[in-house]
Amino acid sequence: MAKKTVNESIEDKLRNLFALQTIDSKIDQIKILKGALPIEVSDLEDELTGLNTRVNKLNEQIEAIDDRINKHKENITTAETLSERYNKQLDDVKNNREFEALQKEIELQSLEVQLSEKRIREATEEKSKKAEMLVGTQEKVALKNSDLTEKKEELESIIEKTEKEEKTLTNKSNKQRNKIEERLLKAYSKARNAYRNGLAVVTYMRGSCGGCFNRIPPQMQIEIGMRKEILACEHCGRILVDHEIAGIKPEVVA
């Protein structure tokens, strides 16, 4: 489609620029809406990876504690078996030295039992704390999984709903661009790329630029309303249009 000729009125040029801005702003809103959710989904997935790693680590630690408890139980069984054997051997001792040696072994095995029982109590207490931490972490995993499912469904729903609208708006934007001469289109694109909100065409509110909010001189406000030339904010370079073109009620000055 051919570009509009230079005979097009300033007012038409301003209206076409503002119409393009309106379409592009709607596209920007869709991208913002879609853009936040993928980040949230990604953050939740990363958090879940960390939590699942913690769950696995806690399970391994609890398993290691169980192994330690079982080994101490085996030590107790061994010590009790030896004590029983030594006690039987006391009946067959032939001298005091043998008796004292057996008594010493029995005492050592008794101490071994006491030590293992102490280690079992300590390990059981440690296991209880780890198990409590595990339950808390698993609860967090369940909550995060629920959040992740919800966010994914929301994202899929938004993509499904906005994909057609975005495509339609993009086609409208391309058609609208064909109505604007190259020089103005370059200025428009330059201004859009310069600002995060993508606003290149704005009106003024309460005597200030709708883009950078710097004061616009009263004389310039009058010139904007006359639509005899395309004017830009001297502070931010955005193209300025009057309230009627922007589709809002003029400000009433008291």
Give me the domains of the chain, ranges plus CATH numbers. Answer: 34-177 (1.10.287.1490), 182-246 (no CATH)
Tell me the CA distances in angstroms from 228 to 14, 16, 182, 247, one per residue in order: 10, 15, 19, 19
Q: What are phi and psi of 215, to 5 degrees?
A: -65, 135
* pLDDT for 249: 74
* pLDDT for 252: 52
Interatomic CA distance for residues 109 and 76, integer angstroms = 8
DSSP 188: H
Q: Do the strands 208-209 and 231-232 form a parallel or antiparallel pair, or are they unpaired?
A: unpaired
Interatomic CA distance for residues 226 and 29, integer angstroms = 31
Please enumerate in sequence order all residues whose Cβ is within 8 A of that of 43, keeping only pairs 6 or more positions apart, or say none.
none
Give yes or no for a contact between 240 and 224, defined as CB atoms under 8 angstroms apart. yes
* 58 three-state secondary structure: helix
231: left (phi over 0), alpha (psi -120 to 50) or beta: beta
* pLDDT for 254: 39
Tokens of 49: 């990876």
* pLDDT for 250: 67
* pLDDT for 8: 80
Distance of CA 248 to the CA centre of its chain: 37
Tokens of 128: 């209880």
Q: How many residues does the chain have?
A: 254
Regions of the chain where pLDDT drops below 70: 1-7, 250-254
206: left (phi over 0), alpha (psi -120 to 50) or beta: left
Tell me the CA distances in angstroms from 190 to 9, 29, 81, 184, 196, one per residue in order: 23, 19, 89, 10, 12
Interatomic CA distance for residues 235 and 194, integer angstroms = 13
Please enumerate in sequence order all residues whose Cβ is within 8 A of that of 15, keeping only pairs 6 or more positions apart, or say none.
245
* pLDDT for 160: 84
Tokens of 168: 């339609």
